[in-house]
Structure 1
Amino acid sequence: MDDDPAVREFVGDLLDLEGHEVRFAADGREALASVRAQRPDCVLLDVMMPGMSGHEVLAELRLADGGADLPVVILTALADEAQTWQGWSAGADYVLGKPFDSEQLLQVLAYLADADHE
C-alpha cells in the first residue's frame, strides 16, 4: 500500500510480472479493511500516508487476530536510522528505503515466503 499512484503501479507491475496476485489500498483504513476481508501473504506499507501512518497501520495489523505472523515490509522515503528503528520496533519484518531496487524487493519477498513455509 502506498499513497503515491506511480509507486503502487510500479510495485504492482513488478509483482504481477513475478506471478503474484496484488491488491492495492490508497490509505491505511482501506488497507486494514482489505486485510480483514482477505488475508494476504504479505503486506507492503508506506510510512507517510493520509489518515494513518504506516506505523499505525502496522500496529493495528499486529493486534488483529492472526496479525502477529503476517509478513510486513515497510517502504519509506524516510529511511534514516530513527525511522528504520521505529519500523523494526513496530514489528516490521523488513524496512526498505525509497527509492528501492526492484531485485532487492523481490529477494525480501522470496525470503519472507520461504521463512513463512519453514
Structure 2
Amino acid sequence: MTSLLAEAPARARSTAQRPNGPVVLYIEDHPVNVLVMEALLLHRPKLRLVVATTGEEGLQAARVERPDLLLLDYHLPDCNGSDLLAELRRLDGLADTPAVVVSATDASGATGPDGFLEFWPKPLDVRGTLHAIDRLIDDHTHVGADRTLTIAGSIQ
C-alpha cells in the first residue's frame, strides 16, 4: 500500500485551498502524524494546514505563507525543533507567532520565554488539541484588528 504522503512532492504542501483563513504550519516528517493532523483539522474548515517535512521546507513555507500558528516536531531529519524555531523567529512577521512543539519524546523543556508556548505529546488528544488550536489561533488573530476571526465548531 502506498502512503498518500509518499506521493506528495518533497516540498511544503498545502492540504487545502482556503486562501482567506488562518494558516497552520505543521513541520513533521512522519506521514502518519501528518495524516492525524489533517484529520483533526477537518473539524476546523476555516483553517488551512500547510505541511513541511524538513526544517528547510518549513522555513521556505513560513516565508511564503506567514502562518498564524507553528506546530513543530522536535526531531526532524535536518534539525531539531528549538533550532528551527529560532530560525523561524528571525523571519519577518513571525517573532510573535504562537509555536508549539509536538513530539513523542519529552520536549517539555523546550517551552519557556525563548522557546515554545506549549508541548503537545504524541499521540495527540483530539479534543484537547482542537481546543488548544482554537485558543492559540484566536489569541494570535485578535492581535491585529485586520486579522480578526472567530473559530466556531466542535467535534460531533
Q: Please say whether Structure 1 and Structure 2 have the same fold, judged by a TM-score greater than 0.5.
A: yes
- The whole-number CA distance in structure 2 between the counterparts of 1:48 and 1:65 is 24
Q: Identity of aligned pairs, percent? A: 32
Q: 1:48 aligns to what?
A: 75
CA-atom RMSD in angstroms: 1.5
Q: 1:5 aligns to what?
A: 31
The total of aligned residue pairs comes to: 115
- The whole-number CA distance in structure 2 between the counterparts of 1:100 and 1:33 is 26
Contact residue 75 and residue 98 of structure 1 kept, 8 A: yes
**How far has the Cα of 1:89 moved from its partner?**
5.0
Contact residue 16 and residue 22 of structure 1 kept, 8 A: no
Higher helix share: 1
What's the secondary structure of 2:29's corresponding residue? coil
Give unpaired runs (5+ residues) of structure 2: 1-26, 144-156
- The whole-number CA distance in structure 2 between the counterparts of 1:88 and 1:96 is 14
Task: Give yes or no for the alignment of 1:107 onto 2:131.
Answer: yes
Q: 1:40-74, CA deviations, whole angstroms, 9 ceiling, x for partnerless residues?
A: 11111000110011111111111222221111111
- The whole-number CA distance in structure 2 between the counterparts of 1:63 and 1:87 is 18
Contact residue 54 and residue 74 of structure 1 kept, 8 A: yes
TM-score (norm 1): 0.88
TM-score (norm 2): 0.68
Task: Give yes or no for the alignment of 1:32 onto 2:56.
Answer: no
Higher strand share: 2
Q: 1:74 aligns to what?
A: 101
Contact residue 3 and residue 26 of structure 1 kept, 8 A: yes
Give unpaired runs (5+ residues) of structure 1: none
- Aligned-partner residue type, residue 85 of structure 1: G
Runs of 4+ in 1 over 3 A off after TM superposition: none
Q: 2:89 aligns to what?
A: 62
